[in-house]
Amino acid sequence: MSKNIRIVGLAIIGLVVGLVAVFLLTRADAPDAFELSSDDTDNAAGTDSAESGEATEPTVVDSIDGSWTIDSGSQAGYRVVEDFAGGLQDFEAVGRGSDIEGSITIEGTTISVASFEVQIATITSDDDLRDSKFRGDIMSADEFPTAKFVLTEPIELGTSPESGTPVSTTAMGDLTLRGVTNSVPVTIDAQLTGGRIEIVGSIDVLFSDYSITNPSIERIISVRDEGKVEFQLFLTN
């Protein structure tokens, strides 16, 4: 009997190892972190029109002062690191959603007001099981449907994004995840792109600061205790 138990045990271990190996070999690489669009992307001024085959005239913006609202193409989500098989391999897990609302107000070269929120249930990754856990046990989307960021100190850009030169700075704001709010620094890059303002940023997040349970699966997946909130916002006035 003990011999049979050992054989069954070894078979199970072999199956688990095999499944992990297949998973590691077939897993897709995570998307890169957000970066400002380059001049040759569809979001930039002067790109070719796919329909007409003619170059699109750059959009002229007389002034960036005023209120700018989040437009199509905007995304926000998370990036965490998953360690597999006791550290045999690690991967970045990335989830993103495009159901975002928010706006900023600009006065001269200062962003005086800014806020945005994303619908948690719309954030997806390359893994359905991860997405189900994210919406359920991890973020409790039914109870806390949105993640939100609100600027708490004006951002002095120093120069106008209208100049065509990317602007980089650090801002302070309140990040709310799963009903818990913390004051956080956020690194941002901004530029004027085809008549829209583009803002790319990231925020370091420690799970315990937001009462988020670490989603590790014992002996299979170990998720590190910190991650990032990432976003790429396009705004129009």
Tokens of 16: 């688990």
Higher pLDDT, 52 or 204: 204
181 and 110 in one domain? Answer: yes
213 and 103 in one domain? Answer: yes
- Angle among Cα 89, 93, 94 to the nearest 5 degrees reads 155
Q: What is the pLDDT of residue 180?
A: 98
43 and 21 in one domain? Answer: no
134 and 17 in one domain? Answer: no
Tokens of 172: 């302070």
Per-residue pLDDT tens digits for 98-150: 999 999 999 988 999 999 999 999 999 998 988 999 999 899 999 999 999 99
pLDDT reading at 183 higher than 90: yes
Host domain of residue 24:
1-29
The DSSP element (H or E) to which 23 belongs, if any, is helix 2-26
Residue at 78: amino acid letter: Y
Q: What is the pLDDT of residue 18?
A: 44
DSSP string, 110-165: EEEEEEEEEEGGG-B-S-HHHHHHIIIIIT-TTTS-EEEEEE-S-EE-SS-GGGSS
Q: Domain holding 164: CATH number?
A: 2.40.128.110
154 and 75 in one domain? Answer: yes
Q: How far apart are CA 48 and CA 139, in angstroms?
A: 41
110 and 69 in one domain? Answer: yes
Burial class (CB in 10 A: 0-12, 13-18, 19+), 54: exposed
Higher pLDDT, 33 or 6: 33
145 and 69 in one domain? Answer: yes
Question: Which pLDDT band, with edges at 50, 70 and 90, does 55 fall under?
Answer: very low
Q: How many domains does the chain have?
A: 2
46 and 15 in one domain? Answer: no
Q: What is the pLDDT of residue 164?
A: 66
